Structures are given as C-alpha cells and as structure tokens.
Chains A and B, each alone.
Chain A
C-alpha cells in the first residue's frame, strides 16, 4: 500500500465532506490500520493451476465455433468442486490417442470429433509420496555452474581462438604471448552481509518433470504412411521419438517436436533466410555486415516482435511470466576496452520466465529459466525459440534446509577456486561480488542419474548480485541456493580433485618451451 493510495482515499473523502479535512489526524490511523490489517488473501498456486486446468478443459471440450449447442456443454449443476475436479482430472489423464494422416503428401493432425483437441503437452502436477525421487544427496548434479563459477576463465576476446566462442575476458596472458604460460586466474568471493530469512520449512516440495509420458504410439502415427523402404509396423511397441517439419518458403522455420523429451523447439530454416554476410570473401565485406550497437533494437521493440510471434503461433504461456529481454551480453560490451571491435550478437533473446507458485524459476546459471525466443537483429524477426516443454510434474516432499550455516558455507565457497590442483605459477586474483537480500523463488536443477538428464524444480533462495567492481565481468545476475537439505549438502561437498585443463595454444604459435 502506498501513501498515494491513502492520499487518494483521503482526497475523495474531503471532496465529499470538506469538514473531514479537519479530522485528518484521526482518520489517517484508522485508514492505515484498515488497509494494513487486511487479511492476507493470496490464492494458493496449486489451486490457481488446478482451477485453470478445469476451466481450460471445459473450454477445450466445448464446441468452439458455430455449433448450435455451443453453451449446452456446461451442465454441471449444482457445482461440486471435488467431483468436477476428479472427473475432469480423469479426462486429462486418460489415454490419449493421436492420429496423423497422410494428406496430399503432408502430415497433418486430423480434426478430432467435434473439432475437439486435447493438448498433448500440458501442465499437470501429480502428488507422490515423500522422497519419491530417491536420495537427492546421491544424485549427480550439474556442478559446472557451481563453485568456481561466475566469471569463468577465458581469454580476452581479441586473443581467443575462433572456435572457443569468444572467451570470457578474465584470463590475461602476460609476457611473451607466443609462449604457453601459466594463467592469471580470477575467482569470485561472494559477500553477503545481510540477514538470511527464517528457514522454517522442515519439508520442501520438489517437482520433477516427467518426460516421455506423452510419447505417441509410432505405429498409430505411421500406419497410413507407406514409406516403401521398410515396414514400420514390423517394429512392435515402438514410440515416436521426434517429428520435424519445415516451411520451404522465405523466412520459413523448422519445427521439432520431441516426444521423448516432451519439448518443442524451432529454428529458422537456414536455406530460406538471407545470409549475405556468409558470401563475404574479404575483411572489408565482413566489416560491412558487422552489426553495431546502433543496430540493436530497443527492448520494447524486441518484445513486440516476440509477442507477435507468440500470438501468431499460439505458444502456450501457461505458467510463464511476462517477456523480458536478456541483456546479459551487454555486460561484455560495458567492460570491453575496444568497443569498436565488440562483437554484437546477431540475435537478442527474449525470455518468458517460468513460474512455480507464481515465483520465477532460475536456472543453475542464475538466469531466469523459461521459454527463450531469439530475435534476429538483422531481420527483425524471430529466428528461434526453445524451452516450450511438456509441464507434467511429480511432486514430492524432502527435508528442507533449516540450518543457515549450510547456505553461508555454499556462498563462501561458491566462486572460489581450489588451489591444490592449479598449474604451477598460477596467480589468483580475487574479486568481491556483493549480494543483496535474497527472495524466495525456485531453481531448476539438472541431475544425471543413469546418464539421462532429469529436471528438478526446487524451492530456493535467490540472492541478487548488487555490485560487481568496475571493469570486472561476472556473468550472473543472481545466485540461487536450493533449499532442499540433501541437495545443498551434496553441493557443499568438496569438488573432486581433477587436473585443471591446460590452457589452449594459440594458433600458429610455437610449442611451449620445456623448462
């Protein structure tokens, strides 16, 4: 509640009865008290999603257009939430059969009876027992973004090997650049001097994304297609892995639906998009097509392009927040010493942040996870989109982090480099990164049990990065700390000691001198 709200109410009152102005000192505390002690009335996110699902099912099952019985579908009276929910839940989870037919050489989804179509990929959370995903402390988690992370170890852009992706800018090479030398490394010390919120959750609820649950039966899909070279029906119990289709028209796309992964992604159909710079044979030509910062559209324009694309292609934004432009790449520009030579990316990314219980979900790199849409700066069109996923989850309870020392330990060790396996002669520079007051959110973690990546959505404390020393590069905006005790315990374990990869040699340079 803001003071302007109070002012508004008071001014309305005075307008009605000017005499009340003389009693402002009496009215103000009453109004403040009334407003401040309004009961907390935020709906539970699980309820929000459940009701949304029920409504969506009702709308999707109703005849959509032109049917005479348009509204006769809605006949549940008197309303019984539990029964309706159960019935509709059964409809949602019931067996789904999808049939593709051959139509003039094109594969199309046939209209189902009454134009009804139930979404194959959708949002659903199914409760399971406690600790249903096994022992989290034994799960291999992706540690690549964890300790030691932050700025990474890279080379100044002008020194990087072309195939190294441009480098990060933290490893400087001194003395004779033709020699392979021990690097100067940078480590990041996280400074959090605030107070942690009360850690009162004995149990936290973790979501695990279910993959492959919507895999369509291959034979059903392929039955009507005579491939000729092989009898597809000779492979019993086969599931469809992937379907790709493309537009063979200017600025067309290639779309891939992965049933196994439960995801949809799309990319520009390369052949159908202009790439004049790819025909360049000399430096002058390349420079002519180099993008400059002036070419980068304003964020609002980028979002407008993405929004139109989302609308035009019916991308489902259920459980995703409003579009945000990912401007992390601009940090590189800010610290670049030679801005004229700075490589401006071809695409700017727009993210629709994934939400859990209404709060954003962060990936392991501290960025908001979600649907990512690339907008081509040259063409002012969407060039790719990914992160559209089947959102079927299992939910299970695990012990929560109640000991704040686990969090401080994680932060303390987060960006520091273990010294014991550094190459001889390495010099270490320590950069202090300041963190602000954390907020509750969620973190998307990947585990690699059985070599298959699994996605967990875990309640987490999200620490914003509030200060990075001038001239330093730290690629994160936030640090996410999972609040599941077993997971955090696992991440607090010492990193396995392994040889630090030797620095790459520059092309066309002599081999290192043996000492």
Chain B
C-alpha cells in the first residue's frame, strides 16, 4: 500500500511540469494536460473520498464527479490562491458533503460514523476487527477533531494543506491535532486503549 504521505503532495516527476503549470496549460486550452493531473491525484482523491463514504461504488461515483467538476471548472483555479491539490481536495470534500445532503439517509457526513462498523462490507475479513477498533476510537471524537485526524493520518495532508482545505489557520490545525491526540490518549476507554496496546502492529 502506498504511503498516505504521497497522496496529496504528489511531486512532479523530474523534468515534468508542476501541477500549476499543467493546470495553466488546461486553462489556456490544452486540455490534454488534464490527464497528467488525473494520473497524479486519482489515488489520493479516491482514498480521501473512500475514507469518508466507506463504500467502493459510492467512492468511484464521487471520484468521477470530482474529476469531471474539476475539468469543467478548471478556469476557476487560481494558483495564487493555493495549490492545485488543495483546490481539487476541496472539490472532493464538497462533493462528499453534497452526496450526504442529497441522500437524506444521513443529514450530515458525521452520521456515517454512527453506522455500526460491521456495516462496512468492503472490508477484508482480516481487517474487520482492527478496523472496528479504530472506528470505535474515531467515533468518540467530535466531528472537527475526527476530520483533522483523518486528514493528517489517513489522507497524509500537511498542516498547511489542511488549513487551506478547511479554512482554518495552520496553527489552529496543529493545535487541534495535538489536542485530539491528547484526547485519544486520556479519554480513550481503558478497555479500548488496552486493546490498542495489546494487538500486534502491522509492519510500519
């Protein structure tokens, strides 16, 4: 599995144009350059969406929507306002929110976390138990804290990127992450903490 730390900050391969240059080419009419942007960011965007909807088909649908919206609105991207990746993740984030709003099944993305963890048939059997524990731990967190944990640990975004994406300051994001880790450390149920400590880790 690829590192979450290569998802958003996908560096331009040596000698290849940067995201901003590719986006600028698209804005100037050479839409063929969008393919390179797609290649660079697909995995990250897919994973970002998947972690939030926890269902493969929905993740594919929303990923498609995200890239089609990005292509459609590429002219609205302004490199002076931030990285292309942040712009793309913002589209993905809004797409996920729209999805939950439209569904009526959940009024808010937050409620997907209230689903019992065993309702996630996408999980491999071997992953189910471990995931259930992590799910339980995340469920105890307030929505904004949970989001920052996901953005930092699973999506692998830097604090700067998280700040751009969420509209918070970088310092505030750092502080929130730190406090959330404190919360996890001090408020996690003793049973769950013991469970986390006792289970063997995967190779890290």
Contact = CB atoms under 8 A, between A and B. Distances in A.
B77 interface: no
A23 B197 contact: no
Interface size on A, as a range, is: 35 or more
Contacts of A322: 13
Contacts of B169: none
A3 B201 CA distance: 13
Given A2-B3, A5-B3, A74-B72, A79 B65 contact: yes
Interface string B110-139: 000000000010111001001101100100
Interface string B149-188: 1001110000100000000000000110110011011001
Interface string B33-45: 0110011001100
B178 to A, nearest CB: 4
Q: Which of A35, A41, A67 has the most CB of B within 10 A?
A: A41
B134 A34 contact: yes
A81 B30 contact: no
A6 B159 CA distance: 15
Contact of A6 (B51, B181, B185, B204): B204
Nearest to B95: A79
A58 B71 contact: yes
Nearest to A47: B60
Contacts of B69: 79
A3 B153 contact: no
Given A17-B178, A20-B181, A76-B68, A43 B29 contact: no
A226 B96 CA distance: 60
B12 interface: no
A70 B29 CA distance: 8
A327 B188 CA distance: 55
Contacts of A307: 15
B162 to A, nearest CB: 12
Contacts of B9: none
Contacts of B68: 54-55, 58, 74, 76, 79, 84
B97 interface: no
Given A30-B181, A31-B153, A54 B54 contact: no
Interface of B: 1-5, 13, 15, 28-32, 34-35, 38-39, 42-43, 46-47, 50-51, 54, 56, 59-61, 63-65, 67-69, 71-72, 74-75, 120, 122-124, 127, 130-131, 133-134, 137, 149, 152-154, 159, 174-175, 177-178, 181-182, 184-185, 188, 193, 196-197, 199, 201-202, 204
